[in-house]
Amino acid sequence: KIAVRPDATGTEITEAIDGAESRVREAVPIARVIYLEPDIFTEAEAAAGPHPEATPGGPAPHPAGGH
């Protein structure tokens, strides 16, 4: 996801996504299809830290026997 301000214009969002896409393609030249989703940035969510469901690889596995 690409964090955007609540008052961002369509042009600003487009520029942010285009910039992120360029950086991904520079780092991973074999990347063919890249899906980037804008999301409204809030300081409260940023301060809460990473969301386990949104981290690469998904949430951490449960400890043995735990559900």
For the stretch 8-54, pLDDT in tens is 999 999 999 999 999 999 999 998 899 988 888 877 776 777 766 66
In a domain, 56, yes or no: no
In a domain, 64, yes or no: no
In a domain, 20, yes or no: yes
Torsions phi, psi of 61, nearest 5? -65, 150
| pLDDT number for residue 2 | 84
| pLDDT number for residue 63 | 58
In a domain, 58, yes or no: no
Q: Supply the range of the domain harboring residue 13.
A: 2-51
In a domain, 40, yes or no: yes
| pLDDT number for residue 48 | 75
In a domain, 34, yes or no: yes
In a domain, 38, yes or no: yes
Q: Point out which residues pair with 38 in neighbouring strands.
A: 2
Task: Please give the tally of structural domains in the chain.
Answer: 1
In a domain, 62, yes or no: no
- What is the distance between the terminal CA atoms of the chain, rounded to a whole angstrom? 28
